[in-house]
Amino acid sequence: MARHKLTYLAITSGLTIYGTHLGLNHLEKQYPNQPLSTGSKALSTPDKSTQHTPYTDIYAARIPVAALLRSPHVSVPPNTNAQTKTEATLEEAWARTLLKSPILKTEASLFSLLNNFKYTPGDLEKPFKKGTTLVQGIMTIQREIDAEPDSNGLLVSWKMADEPRTFFEKIASWGYPWRLMSGGRHEMSVSEVFEVEGEDFVDVRFASAHDYEVVRSEGDLDQQKILPEWTNRLHRGFARLILDFAVRELQ
């Protein structure tokens, strides 16, 4: 009996791992990493001088401008000519589409359930003002849309709780090979409008960057401990999945 249970667990675990691998492969092919030049400098700048940002990931999808303008998150009449739409209008529509995607709404609701015993995504119509918290307090707006000529969309930040971060920093000092990040940022941006075969398109982007504390005893920045690669791959797959769900909402 015990042998059958172990066989069942082994098969189930193997199928789960293989299915996850296939799913990640699909998302990685569909949404390859974009050049750092498509993100802003602020995205890759750590929150504190005592931190570093070892990686920045930017993903994009090409969609018709008309699809984005049909979004219920656009606050101007849908029959307005696409050429008259401002970049800020498109960026707000895209940011709200992302923040209202099923995955982030579920994450916000679970966070609320754990902290307030209420399963709710919270206020999804908050104005995008610097310092405003989003996704039930998980994210904070660090830079408003159109705050500067080259601001590149909405930039939000998040913080890792001190307890798990310091715990892993402590065991890392004893030889454990990995550490947790201190926090990070997400950037939600839209490219300039371009034409393909007579139709207007934009590239909508979702970007992530993680900050880690610099530990002098670990050596140079390229020797600093971070999350293991398999965990980072899951993180990147999750970001790509958020993008995928948001794009599907616009199709």
- pLDDT for 85 equals 53
Same domain, 107 and 210: yes
Same domain, 170 and 233: yes
- pLDDT for 122 equals 83
Assign 159 to helix, strand or coil.
strand
Interacting residues of 134 by C-beta distance below 8 A, sequence separation 6+ = 99, 126, 140, 141, 156
- pLDDT for 25 equals 86
Same domain, 155 and 225: yes
Same domain, 74 and 99: yes
Percent of residues in the chain assigned helix, strand, coil, to nearest 5: 45, 20, 35
Task: Report yes or no: 106 and 112 within 8 Å, Cβ to Cβ.
Answer: no
What is the rounded CA–CA span in Å between residue 33 and residue 57? 6
What is the rounded CA–CA span in Å between residue 133 and residue 125? 11
The domain containing residue 18 runs over which residues? Answer: 1-30
Q: Find the CATH number of the domain harbouring 144.
A: 3.30.530
Mutual angle of helices 229-250 and 87-99, in 10-degree steps: 120
What is the rounded CA–CA span in Å between residue 192 and residue 204? 10
DSSP state letters, 54-121: --EEEEEEEEEHHHHHTSTT--S-TTS-GGG--HHHHHHHHHHHHHTSHHHHHHHHHHHHHHHS----
- pLDDT for 83 equals 47
Same domain, 125 and 142: yes
Same domain, 52 and 163: yes
Assign 125 to helix, strand or coil.
coil
Q: Kindly tell me the burial class for residue 54, based on how many C-beta atoms sit within 10 Å of its own C-beta (0-12, 13-18, 19 or more).
A: middle
Same domain, 122 and 80: yes
Task: Report yes or no: 106 and 134 within 8 Å, Cβ to Cβ.
Answer: no
Same domain, 16 and 39: no
Residues of the chain with pLDDT under 50: 15, 82-84
Same domain, 20 and 90: no
Domain count, the chain: 2
Task: Report yes or no: 194 and 208 within 8 Å, Cβ to Cβ.
Answer: no
Sign of CA dihedral 88, 91, 93, 96: negative
Task: Report yes or no: 52 and 212 within 8 Å, Cβ to Cβ.
Answer: yes
For the chain, the residue count is 251
Give the gyration radius of the chain's Cα atoms: 20
Same domain, 111 and 22: no
DSSP state letters, 178-227: -----EEEEEEEEPPPEEETTEEEEEEEEEEEEEEE--GGG-SGGGS---
Q: What is the identity of the amino acid at 158? A: W
Same domain, 147 and 178: yes
- What is the pTM for the complete model shown? 0.88
Q: What is the identity of the amino acid at 98? A: L
Bridge-partner residues for 141, per DSSP?
A: 156
Same domain, 84 and 147: yes
